[in-house]
Structure 1
Amino acid sequence: MGHWLVIDLEATTEEGGWPLEEMEIIEIGASLVHSDGHEVDHFQRFVRPQRRPYLTSFCRELTHISQPDVDKAAPLTRVWPQFERWLLTHKPRLIGWASWGEYDRRQFEQDWQRHKLVSCLSRVPHLNLKRRFAEVRQLARPVGLNTALQLAGLQFSGQQHRALVDARNTARLLPLVLTT
């Protein structure tokens, strides 16, 4: 049975949001699941931002990530090789990777280029679960993760805006879009 990698990122931001070019990853959460949504393995790391090392109060309140969490974390240039080593053991069975929307894919692509990082994910198909869920449910427009879970008869489990928790909740919707 093949695996799907469901990824969620948390990033630096301010109320009202920042342009993607100004955001930096502060947490990576990845849940490796079977097509039925059952978790096989997971990865979670905090990342120390380089350009704006101090989190805004809005960012800390939204993500529940503290300044000490990111202060003691390694920068993306050290965290990314750890992620790639973890992923390498699962790569032979990897069907694709998914995220809720396009933000995570675009943030990765920007940061891979900015830091000259190489990723095997760049050669693995990406599924925008947010768009796919809207198509399958014939919704007028895509909805947020919490709303999608409610539409599927599920409750959000855990603290929202934490990368691994959001990835795991997103993975719960994967079987609903793959079976159609």
Structure 2
Amino acid sequence: MRHWLVIDLEATTDEGGWPLRDMEIIEIGATLATSEGHEVAHFQRYVRPLRRPCLTSFCKDLTHIGQQQIDSARTLAQLWPAFESWLLAQGSRLAGWASWGDYDRRQLEQEWQAQGLQSRLQQFPHLNLKQSFASSRQLTRPVGLNMALMLAGMHFQGRQHRALEDARNAARLLPLALPH
């Protein structure tokens, strides 16, 4: 059986948002799920940002991630091998990876390039679940994760704007978003 890796990232930001080039990952959440949306394995880590190591009040309030969690975390370059080892341990079950929208893919690609990191994910197709869900439901425009869950008759489980919970909730929509 082939599985999908659904990834969600939390990143540094402030009220009004920052351009992608100014954002840095502060949490990685990934769930390996069946095409029916059932979790098989997961990965979650906090990440210490390098350029702006102090989280803004807005960022802390939004993500419920504290400064102490970030201060004691490893940098992306330090923890990326652990992610790759975890991914490798999942074997050849991976059909591709996905995220709700394109932000997570673009942020990872930016960080990989800036820090000279390689990833097995670069060998797999990326699926924008937000676009795919909108297409499969014939929506006039893509909707947020919360609205998509409501349209599917589901409720958000866990705390919003936490990487693993967001990834898990997006994975629940896989059966409704995967191309047939």
TM-score (ref. length: structure 2): 0.98
Asked if 1:44 is matched to 2:44, the reply is yes
Q: Which residue of 1 aligns with 2:9?
A: 9
Partner Cα separation in structure 1 for residue 163 and residue 91 of structure 2: 21
**Is 2:132–2:178's contact at 8 Å kept on the other side of the alignment?**
no
Name the aligned partner's letter for residue 143 of structure 2.
V
TM-score (ref. length: structure 1): 0.98
Equivalent residues in 2 for 1:24-63 (5 A)?
Answer: 24-63=24-63
Q: Which residue of 2 aligns with 1:85?
A: 85
Q: Which residue of 1 aligns with 2:166?
A: 166
Matched residues, number:
180
Equivalent residues in 2 for 1:57-76 (5 A)?
Answer: 57-76=57-76
Q: Percent identity?
A: 68
Report deviation, 1:91.
4.1
Partner Cα separation in structure 2 for residue 115 and residue 19 of structure 1: 18
Q: Which residue of 1 aligns with 2:133?
A: 133
Partner Cα separation in structure 2 for residue 110 and residue 179 of structure 1: 27
Q: Secondary structure at the match of 1:167?
A: helix
Report deviation, 1:178.
2.4
**Is 2:132–2:179's contact at 8 Å kept on the other side of the alignment?**
no
Partner Cα separation in structure 1 for residue 42 and residue 86 of structure 2: 9
Report deviation, 1:123.
1.1
**Unmatched tracts of structure 2, length 5 or more:** none
Partner Cα separation in structure 1 for residue 58 and residue 47 of structure 2: 18
**Unmatched tracts of structure 1, length 5 or more:** none
Residue deviations 1:36-76, cap 9 Å, x none?
11111000000000000000000000000000010000000
Q: Secondary structure at the match of 1:44?
A: strand
Tell me the C-alpha RMSD between the 2 structures.
Answer: 0.8
Partner Cα separation in structure 2 for residue 145 and residue 3 of structure 1: 20
Asked if 1:178 is matched to 2:178, the reply is yes
Q: Secondary structure at the match of 1:32?
A: strand
List 4+ stretches of structure 1 deviating above 3 A.
none
Assess, with a 3 A threshold, how the Cα gap between structure 1 residues 137 and 113 changes in structure 2: closer, same or farther: same
Report deviation, 1:79.
1.1
Name the aligned partner's letter for residue 124 of structure 1.
F
Name the aligned partner's letter for residue 34 of structure 1.
T
Report deviation, 1:5.
0.2
